[in-house]
């Protein structure tokens, strides 16, 4: 649970349900539940909000969650100097929303958690690149399994924030992606890979910054303490950010 009497506000981006229902905005219910169960209050922002409005929202929240999920589009590869492959599904409006939100969150120093597509767009926004399509191999990254099922291993770096939260360097995780990080942004470091070497987790290269991106879906695995603690720590860190910001305003008043 968060360490403040007032729930921290977490901005959560929601995208269109492409390509099936482009007029419908989708958001995983379990992403919201993972936040509220940890003591946060989600604030949903959607594509079409202009840059000034995004800045207005980000100056009033305490953390940023970039979710993924079934139907989530891919970041436009032109952001990292490539042309789209046939498998790539793009929503430029969602890219614009999330990149603007990431820029403000990083500038303000607030905690950021990216999940699946959210991990990818976080990396792209900060200057990294993606593998546009993972070819079939020893590990299936898009298995025909329910999201609450464990699909493959996650091998964590010793000393990483994720390893500390998990209490282990080897986890079993779910999987629902056809893209992955090709090279990390300068501000991020790789802290977790699957057994075939695909990047599955990144963190801020600055240990004082709470920025984590995971390629799997911990919101579907919160019955396991290792995954639940990720949300609890994210919300607690957002609460500390809120408290520090409130103190700064009091001093400057």
pTM: 0.95
Give the active site residue among 116, 119, 141, 203: 116
CA dist 10 and 15 (Å) reads 16
Q: What is the reported pLDDT for 4? A: 46
Active-site annotation holder among 217, 220, 227, 232: 217
Residue 158, number of CB atoms within 10 A of its CB: 8
The range of the structural domain enclosing residue 218 comes to 9-252
Here the CATH number for the domain that contains residue 124 is 3.40.50.880
Both tokens assigned to 27: 């958001």
- Give the chain's domain count: 1
Predicted pLDDT at 19: 67
Q: So what's the pLDDT on residue 15?
A: 86
User: Which residues face 202 on adjacent strands?
Assistant: 190, 213
Question: Residue 185: CA atoms inside 13 Å, Cβ hemisphere, count?
Answer: 23
Quote the tokens at residue 138: 């020893």
In a domain, 150, yes or no: yes
* Residue 206, Cβ density class (10 Å: 0-12 exposed, 13-18 middle, ≥19 buried): exposed
Q: pLDDT by residue (tens digit) across 108-127?
A: 999 999 999 999 999 999 99
Residue 57 domain-assigned (yes or no):
yes
Instruction: Please tell me the predicted confidence (pLDDT) of residue 183.
Output: 98
Q: Is 39 left (phi over 0), alpha (psi -120 to 50) or beta?
A: left
Would you state the pLDDT for residue 1?
A: 46
Residue 2 counted as domain residue? no
In a domain, 1, yes or no: no
pLDDT at position 5, please?
A: 62
Kindly report the three-state secondary structure assignment for every residue of 120-187.
Answer: HHHHHHCCCEEECCCCCCCCCCCCCCCCCCCCEEEEECCCCHHHHHHCCCEEEECCCCCCEEEECCCC
Q: Which of 200, 219, 220, 232 is catalytic?
A: 219
Does residue 4 belong to any structural domain of this protein? Answer: no
Q: How far is residue 162 CA from its own chain's centroid?
A: 13
State yes or no: is 219 an active-site residue.
Answer: yes
Residue 68 lies in a domain: yes
Tell me the per-residue pLDDT of 144-187, one tens digit each, with 9 for 90 and over.
Answer: 899 999 999 999 999 999 999 999 999 999 999 999 999 999 99
- Domain assignment present for residue 3? The answer is no
116 catalytic per annotation: yes
Q: Would residue 220 show up in a list of annotated catalytic residues for this protein? A: no
Give every residue of the chain whose pLDDT is below 70, as ranges: 1-5, 18-19, 253
């Amino acid at each position: 649970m968060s360490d403040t009497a007032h729930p921290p506000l977490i901005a959560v981006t929601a995208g269109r349900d492409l390509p099936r229902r482009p007029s419908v905005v989708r958001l995983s219910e379990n992403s919201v539940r993972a936040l509220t169960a940890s003591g946060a209050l989600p604030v949903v922002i959607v594509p079409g909000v202009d840059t000034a409005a995004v800045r207005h929202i980000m100056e009033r929240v305490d953390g940023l969650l970039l979710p993924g999920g079934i139907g989530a589009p891919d970041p436009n590869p032109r952001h990292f100097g490539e042309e789209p492959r046939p498998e790539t599904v793009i929503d430029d409006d969602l890219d614009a929303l999330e990149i603007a939100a990431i820029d403000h969150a990083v500038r303000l120093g607030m905690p950021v958690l990216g999940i699946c597509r959210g991990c990818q767009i976080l990396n792209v926004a900060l200057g990294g690149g993606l593998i546009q399509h993972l070819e079939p191999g020893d590990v299936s990254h898009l298995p025909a399994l329910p999201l609450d099922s464990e699909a493959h291993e996650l091998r964590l770096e010793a000393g990483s924030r994720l390893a500390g939260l998990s209490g282990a360097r080897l986890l079993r995780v779910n999987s629902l992606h056809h893209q992955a990080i090709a090279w990390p942004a300068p501000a991020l470091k790789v802290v977790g890979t699957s057994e075939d070497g695909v990047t599955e987790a990144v963190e801020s290269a600055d240990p004082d910054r709470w920025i984590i991106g995971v390629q799997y879906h911990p919101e579907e695995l919160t019955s396991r303490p290792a995954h639940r603690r990720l949300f609890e720590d994210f919300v607690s860190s957002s609460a500390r950010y809120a408290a520090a910001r409130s103190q700064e305003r009091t001093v400057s008043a």
